[in-house]
Every structure is written in structure tokens, then in C-alpha cells.
Amino acid sequence: MRSDLPKVVHEVGGRPMVCAVVDACIQAGCGRIVVIVGYKQELVREALVGYGAVEFAVQGEQLGTGHAVRSCEHFFSREKMEPGHDAFVLCGDGPLIRAETLRTVLERHRGSGAAATLATSVIEDPSGYGRIVRDGSGRFVAIVEQKNATAAQLAIREVNPSYYCFDVQSLFGALARVGRNELTGEYYVTDVPSLLMGDGKRVEVIDAVPPSDVLSINTLEDLARVDGIYRARSGASSASGRIGVRA
């Protein structure tokens, strides 16, 4: 990004991109919004100063996505006590997320009684994304991060764009058992679905994310491209009287 700013405070649509994700949560009627912060957290807090509903959890060390989610566990002490409390786990650098995609995920999650539901996408260039591994019958087996993928797995074009819905009790119960990845030393939230399946719990996987929404922001050129798409989409939505995202 040629910048020492946290990625989520770079602007998309004239605002820090994390605002689009928080707006989505508010529009969805989420009971709680917890933003996990770490590096230069004061800038993220400042970006969200106008949102009274936002709480902040601090990830003291950068030890992976699973470690990040565990850093907010104490915010959900009550919800952990019994099943039936749902939570989306989303990335703060995904401003192109669509309301209808998450509605589809939530509908599948609740309708199936799943402990975890994730939305996937099939894209032409899967570089950088975790791959969705299925068995010979097409059933979900695991999410494999690119760093850990075999040559055959790297050829898979169905990817994990990090749209998760979890039963809160199941999520934190599994996260407590996630070990450090041998290659990276990190704790991956992507290990949770496989652990839940091993417990005999239901995991739903749905190819629901449009490929156009799966755009990594790793350079200023990527940022400009996403900004253009976001502005065009917002303008079109505003013209039709319908704008917003669910989370």
C-alpha cells in the first residue's frame, strides 16, 4: 500500500473503508458490533468515532485470524453459555460486501441449523486466497490457506473470501482447540469449520459471493479499482432508493 496506515483506514468512497462494513452491520440490525484493533489502533478508533454502537477489542499480537477473533471472546460471555446466538465474522477491508449475499448466508445458516456457514466464490485467479477443498462427492472438507496448499489445491478456483456466520458457543469452543499452524506459527479461524465437523456439527458452505466482490486490496492500484466499483455501485443503489449491506 506504500503507507504505514492500517489498511482499513484507507478511503473507499471518500471514507475509511471500515466504515462501509460497520454501516452494513448497523443496517442489518446487529445487536452488537465489535471491531478488533491492533496496529495503530488509535487511527481505527478515530475513523469510527461517530459510531456510538461500536465496541473495540484489542489484539495485542498479530498471531492470525483465529487469535484475532479470540481477542473479543470476553465480549460474548453471555452468548457463549448456550447455543442459538449467531454472529458474523467479517473483514474490515471488504467494502464491496453485499446485503443480499449475507442474507443468503444467514438464511441458510438458520434454516439448516448449522454451527457454521461460510460463503465462497469461484474466481479466475485464486492467488492469495484460502482454497475450498471438497471430497469426491462435492462435500466440504476444509479450508486450506495458500501458504499451506499443495500444488493440486492451488489449482482450485473456489476460494474463501471470509464471509462467516457462526453459532457463538460453537465458534469459541472450537477456537480454544485451534493450534498454531506449523508453517506460519499463526492461529487460523479457517480451522474452525473442520473442527466443528469433527464434533459432528453441521457446516454449510454456499457459493454465494459474486466474483466481482472478491477483490483484494494490497496496492494503491487495487484501492483505486475498488473505490471506483464502490462509488459506481453506491450511485446506482442511491438512484434506485436502495443502498446498504448486511453483516
C-alpha cell at 50: 461517530
How many domains is the chain built from? Answer: 1
For residues 161 and 129, the answer to whether their CB atoms sit within 8 Å is yes
In a domain, 2, yes or no: no
C-beta contacts of 46-54 below 8 A and 24+ residues apart: 47/8, 47/9, 47/15, 47/16, 47/18, 47/19, 48/16, 48/18, 48/19, 48/22, 51/22, 51/26, 53/26, 54/22
In a domain, 180, yes or no: yes
pLDDT of the residue at 245:
28
In a domain, 244, yes or no: no
In a domain, 185, yes or no: yes
pLDDT of the residue at 234:
81
Tens digit of each residue's pLDDT (9 = 90 or more) over 109-120: 999 999 999 999
Q: Which residue range forms the structural domain that includes residue 110?
A: 7-239
The CATH number of the domain where 60 resides is what? 3.90.550.10
Q: What is the pLDDT along the chain (247 residues), one digit of tens a residue?
A: 778 899 999 999 999 999 988 887 777 777 889 999 999 999 999 999 989 889 999 999 999 999 999 999 999 999 999 999 999 999 999 999 887 888 889 899 999 999 999 999 999 999 999 999 999 999 999 999 999 999 999 999 999 999 999 999 999 999 999 999 998 999 999 999 999 999 999 999 999 999 988 888 889 999 999 999 999 988 754 433 322 223 3
Tens digit of each residue's pLDDT (9 = 90 or more) over 66-108: 999 999 999 999 999 999 999 999 999 999 988 788 888 989 9
In a domain, 191, yes or no: yes
Closest-CA residue to 43 (of 14, 4, 94, 74): 4
- Please tell me the distance from the alpha carbon of residue 159 to that of residue 163, in angstroms, as a whole number: 11
In a domain, 1, yes or no: no
pLDDT of the residue at 215:
85
C-alpha cell at 216: 483484494
- Please tell me the distance from the alpha carbon of residue 175 to that of residue 191, in angstroms, as a whole number: 8
In a domain, 129, yes or no: yes
